[in-house]
Structure 1
Amino acid sequence: MESVSRAAVKIDIERSEIREFLFPPLGDNDGLLKVEASGVGGSDPEMYRRENTAPCIMGHENVGTVARIGDAAAQRWGLRAGDRIALHEYLPCWHCHWCRQGDFRLCMEADFFNVKDRFNTLRYGTCNADIPPHLWGGFSEYMYLAPNAVIHKIPADMDARLATLAVPLGNGVQWAVLDGGAGLGKTVLVFGPGQQGLSCALAAKQAGALTVIIAGMTRDRTRLDLSLSLGADIAVDVQQEDLAAVVMRATGGMGVDVVVDTTGDPDGKIAEQAVALSAKGAWLSLNGLSASVPLGEIKKRYLTVRAPRGHSYRAVQMALDILASGKWPAEKLCSHDFPLEQVHEAILATAGRGIEGAIHVTVSPHKS
């Protein structure tokens, strides 16, 4: 077996290079993953252009085969060498209130909003590659399986690229269903037809939503069309159609029961629109750190407002079950695949640069 892993390392703003790392020494409580595929997340282009985040091995939507594993780790995780797994990006404490509920996104050691230095916090795909044992990201032939890794076993025959959707689809399950309340008979509005928005639409329909409306722009036409095979009932180009008119026509003037914004909403306009298009008692999952909503309207409409914040263990497992069922053509989301040497192009493609039509981009480190 090899003793060196090649990895694509971010070395500066939108610059990466291939470096080699020795395999780490392993004990009873950890392991080593042979990475089959790593998805480029919607947040990765932002990470790639951010200052003071190099060197870093990016890649946090990771799927692979257990190459080596310690005896204690094998017993704890219920795994053995040769098993295939999908990983969360979180490396939580495992003993706090939130971890014991499987809600690792809120663990004080894993939550970006609570740590002082995000770059030097251990988290797959975003932490400093100078921190031993270095292999903290999926844009690498091998990854370190830390004792506190959050792991899901996947079927032996599941396509690796499809399985990388576990995290984005897990976000969709969390934001639209578990946090947003999408379910039987509900009407749902999703802003943004990227990988997260499409996942929200699919998750909502899987949960039994009566009508799912997804909104995007003219440049999103291909994604809007694709959404109609992935759970959406109505796809709206807001630059060509009146979204409010479409929503009110579809809901008999009542407004929607659930709104999920996946766009980031930098100027707060979507938040305002979400409130205006909501039915009384609706649940809103609103994105964007600068967005604000009028408290008077929230009170008048008896709205519940939350913000999309990652995914729980339950959400990712539900996502994997949906993918394994074959009920939805989720493979259509997997638009492009790149070898390790083209990580730069893969990240830019996710940002809509260089390659048209990218939705969920993957990196396959052992692809030639």
Structure 2
Amino acid sequence: MSKKVWAAVKTAAETTELRQFDYPDLKSDTGILRVEASGVGGSDPEVYRKPDHAPLIMGHENVGTLEAVGPVAARRWGVKAGDRVALHEYLPCWHCEWCMKGDFRLCMEVDFFNVKDRLNTLRFGMSTCEIAPHLWGGYAQYMYLPLNTVMHRIPDDMPATHATLAVPFGNGVQWACNDGGAGPGKTVLVFGPGQQGLGCVLAAKAAGSLTVILAGMTRDRSRLDLSLRMGADHAIDVQDQNLEAEVMRVTNGRGVDVVVDTTGDPDGSVAAQAIALAAKGAWLSLNGLHQQVPIGEIKKRYLTVRAPRGRSYAAVELALRYIASGRYPLDEVCSHTFGLAQTHEAILATAGRGIEGAIHVCVDPWR
């Protein structure tokens, strides 16, 4: 009788059930990961609400131990069985223009914004488990790793829950610094105090930014307070304080050099505020898919606008160094851990439903 693997499967909108799958066969060019923890990403509640993308094993912030590695894969990845790794969710082609430039996050094989058949776009945590060998997400005891897996070695003593921050904090490095230009002497405004926003705060301050401002809502009070211990100089409750007045007070009327939106900006209000609060020559990282961007204002202020799109290998590598440094209160960031049978509750907690005070939530499939 073959070994079985338990996984939490999304079967419909906001519906999960535990299912068993066969333990995958090891090939020369594959590996098998024993999952230690999988973080619930900021996008997971949105994916969970959708009626499609099912059946699906979610979980894209994955950390574990390599239980088995084929010889071809071991040579390609530079690892061996027993090594601990953190994964990217991307499964890139490695032959297109973007992969060859080292920016696999923009490979069309993994780009669900630009690929029509999203269900067949292979990414960990986003690919239907009807595709053999099924174990494509981290809310499972084991994951199947094809040769195009992207991974980072992590220290033996790094807590697994801390290591799951590699993706959101890697986003922070990419969006605030690599794409946004946060660095020495800069003033940075971050919208949204979730795990991505806290990652932007940490990265911007670690890069030498003079002033880092985080904006959130009254319900985010505990996260705003935590941000002050992560590197923020000012944490503003926009429902209690006038954001524009506070930013202009802090910057002596100049405005900010970098703006990063991590909220998704559903109504376009963040984009409008970002432009209004930007100094001349600022860099803006704006989110959302349906915003009307006023080109005239961008021209007058000589602004550079980009959209946050995942993260590079270098961004995650730097984020892991920050995580390993011991300088940050990561036990406070990693607020809750659930077992595999509580995956539904874990995703809802990340959406602010059912559990108070959730910041970064993890699923431990062995709990």
How would you bin the TM-score normalised by the shorter chain?
over 0.9
Deviations 1:150-186 (CA, angstroms, capped at 9, x unpaired): 0101011110000000000000000000000000010
Query: Structure 2 CA distance, aligned partners of 1:58 and 1:264?
Result: 20
Query: Structure 1 CA distance, aligned partners of 2:23 and 2:324?
Result: 32
Question: Please, which moves more after superposition, 49-58 or 32-41?
Answer: 49-58
Question: Please, which moves more after superposition, 100-109 or 313-322?
Answer: 100-109
Q: Secondary structure at the match of 2:108?
A: coil
Residue pairs, 1:62-211, within 5 angstroms? 62-211=62-211
8 Å Cα contact 1:350-1:361 kept in structure 2: yes
Structure 2: which amino acid aligns with 1:216?
G
RMSD (CA atoms): 1.1
Question: Please, which moves more after superposition, 163-172 or 328-337?
Answer: 328-337
Deviations 1:273-319 (CA, angstroms, capped at 9, x unpaired): 10010001000000111112211111111000001111111111111
Query: Structure 2 CA distance, aligned partners of 1:228 and 1:5?
Result: 42
Query: Structure 1 CA distance, aligned partners of 2:116 and 2:186?
Result: 40
8 Å Cα contact 1:35-1:63 kept in structure 2: yes
8 Å Cα contact 1:287-1:307 kept in structure 2: yes
Query: Structure 1 CA distance, aligned partners of 2:237 and 2:139?
Result: 34
Counterpart in 2 of 1:240?
240
Deviations 1:46-80 (CA, angstroms, capped at 9, x unpaired): 11110121110000000000001101111111111
Q: Give the C-alpha shift of residue 112 in structure 1.
A: 1.2
Query: Structure 2 CA distance, aligned partners of 1:143 and 1:328?
Result: 30
8 Å Cα contact 2:111-2:121 kept in structure 1: no
Query: Structure 2 CA distance, aligned partners of 1:283 and 1:128?
Result: 37
1:318 is the counterpart of 2:295? no
Identity between Structure 1 and Structure 2 (%): 69
Deviations 1:95-125 (CA, angstroms, capped at 9, x unpaired): 2222123311100101112212112221100
Q: Which runs of 5+ in 2 are unaligned?
A: none
Structure 2: which amino acid aligns with 1:327?
R
Q: Secondary structure at the match of 1:209?
A: coil
The runs of at least 4 aligned residues of structure 1 exceeding 3 Å deviation read none
Residue pairs, 1:217-232, within 5 angstroms? 217-232=217-232
Query: Structure 2 CA distance, aligned partners of 1:221 and 1:114?
Result: 37
Structure 2: which amino acid aligns with 1:140?
A
Deviations 1:235-266 (CA, angstroms, capped at 9, x unpaired): 00011111111111111111000000111111
Question: Please, which moves more after superposition, 83-92 or 48-57?
Answer: 48-57
Q: How many residues align?
A: 367
Query: Structure 2 CA distance, aligned partners of 1:101 and 1:36?
Result: 32
Query: Structure 1 CA distance, aligned partners of 2:266 and 2:63?
Result: 32
Counterpart in 1 of 2:269?
269
Q: Which runs of 5+ in 1 are unaligned?
A: none
Query: Structure 2 CA distance, aligned partners of 1:264 and 1:74?
Result: 38
Q: Give the C-alpha shift of residue 94 in structure 1.
A: 1.0
1:22 is the counterpart of 2:22? yes
Query: Structure 2 CA distance, aligned partners of 1:30 and 1:264?
Result: 35
1:50 is the counterpart of 2:47? no
Query: Structure 1 CA distance, aligned partners of 2:315 and 2:292?
Result: 27
Query: Structure 2 CA distance, aligned partners of 1:52 and 1:120?
Result: 12
Query: Structure 2 CA distance, aligned partners of 1:112 and 1:209?
Result: 33
Query: Structure 2 CA distance, aligned partners of 1:312 and 1:351?
Result: 26
**Which TM-score applies when normalising by structure 1?**
0.98
Counterpart in 1 of 2:281?
281
Q: Secondary structure at the match of 2:343?
A: helix
Q: Secondary structure at the match of 1:318?
A: helix
Structure 2: which amino acid aligns with 1:8?
A
8 Å Cα contact 1:102-1:314 kept in structure 2: no
Q: Secondary structure at the match of 1:109?
A: helix
Structure 1: which amino acid aligns with 2:66?
V
Structure 1: which amino acid aligns with 2:335?
S
